[in-house]
Structure 1
Amino acid sequence: MSQAPLFHISFYKFVPLPDPDGVIDLLRELVAPLTGSVLVAHEGISGALAATAELLDTFEHAMHHDPRLHGWFSDMPFKRSACTTRPFWKVRVHRKDEIVALGVDGVTGVVPERAAGNHLSPQDFRELINQDDVVLLDNRNHFEYRLGRFKRAIDPGVGNFRDFPAYLREQAPQWKAEGKRVAMYCTGGIRCEKTSAWMQRDLGLDVYQLDGGIVNFLHTLPDAEHDWDGECFVFDNRVALDARLQETDTTAHEVYDESPDEAWRLERAQRLDSVNPKPRRPGKPERS
């Protein structure tokens, strides 16, 4: 008997949680049939999970409607894509100080006054990034940019998200002097969500972010290749997706270089690869 196909979902919501430990207890119950990970902090939740469509439907319904969650996640969107490789092998729910660590004291993703107009749909983002007064900024690590990016995008050249604020502080004066607006994107939107309000308030930048990130752009626009070049890195065993959100045959060995910033990532990927090896493309030598 053939197994039911697997799907991957990703999700996040910045919302003040008065009792993160209570949310963790409930989430551990809800994710028991799934694989993946969920992060929980006072500022909200972020997760990536995989299972059959039926099991994911049940989980998503619970997150939207379970009365024990008090409506905190009733409008939380889920991004879903089909899997060839099994993305995860176990499931974990972690307590964190932040669901995404920017490294700037006092900055939280919970910003009630966040301007809705600064969240752009894929079509509106496409129109914006082709205007001359716009800096198109990749809010990801260098190895992610190297694998795939929006055309004309700037690479901050950072090895860790915590290095991003220093880059912004250095560049902001010039961008403001030139009257530039900043169009920013990341994989699923969470890193932009964490930084955009801080960039507006503390750096005085005019910032616009791609709602739902790269994944939403590729899902929404059938001709995404017009703006997107390469593959989109994902933080699981699939490694990378193409512009149609199909898993590619790129391996972790082909993603990372040998710099100190990336060596530990490759080592971790190799441990996962030993459990579920992904076949190499013919003619591609293994990294020595």
Structure 2
Amino acid sequence: MDHKTGVEKKTQEEERVRRLSSDLHSEILDLSAGDNIPEGCKRKKKIKTTYAPRVSVEIPVIGPVETAEFMTAASQGKVKVIETYLADDGNPNAQDELKRTALHRASLEGHTAVVQMLLEKGADINLKDQLGSRAIHCACRGGRLEVVKALTSNEADLNVRDKLNSTPLHVATRTGHTTIVEYLLSCGAKINSRDREGDTALHDAVRLNRYKVVKLLIAAGADTKIKNHEGVTAVQQVKQWQSDIMETLQRLEKLREVGVVPSENNSTEE
């Protein structure tokens, strides 16, 4: 009798595990389906909101702030530290070992409040770092539109160049920040400027496969016939890339024919 009861309990336990496993499998399939992902996100969000939101409170600053601490605070967006340093007549244009100012750092990290405070307290918007980048270059690399707007409203030069002759538009294009590219174009940034290699933003966008940026640049009137220092236009870059791919495939096929590379028919998928 005890043996029978034990078997029944074991069977019930196995059935319960099977159902749990089946339910879990179904839930995973539901979440992996495209149409159900938003619903899954809603459920997850609903669970999160049952907890009290954490409020980030900046620790009060006690005593004087050193320059190194000020520079770190600019990268981390610590407004009170910046405020204390500047209130004690700290130099807003202090530079680190790479000649970056606090404005460079805050612009790169996207701390709009710090950027605005620094500009109000006399930060030089035109100072260059070791690579010749201004704050506007850093902002375009960082990708925070509010920072780019703050610098633009303080007369940042949208066509300024770094040591590679790159403009803010080049930088925004390379980093794939479409909204920044769109904003710079709306502000009248020069669309056909060429960098040290003779590349325009369109060259960069094509080379890096920034499809949305390519569309924006062409719609804004980018010249597709400009050649870089290698004598190649942005359109020819595409053809050159296709030619290189074709050449690689043909070379691979020859290696397969002589047995150096295994034939596709011999490979199996699991």
Structure-2-length-normalised TM-score: 0.28
Larger radius of gyration: 2
Q: Hey, which of these two has a bigger chunk of strand by percent?
A: 1
Structure-1-length-normalised TM-score: 0.27
Q: Hey, which of these two has a bigger chunk of helix by percent?
A: 2
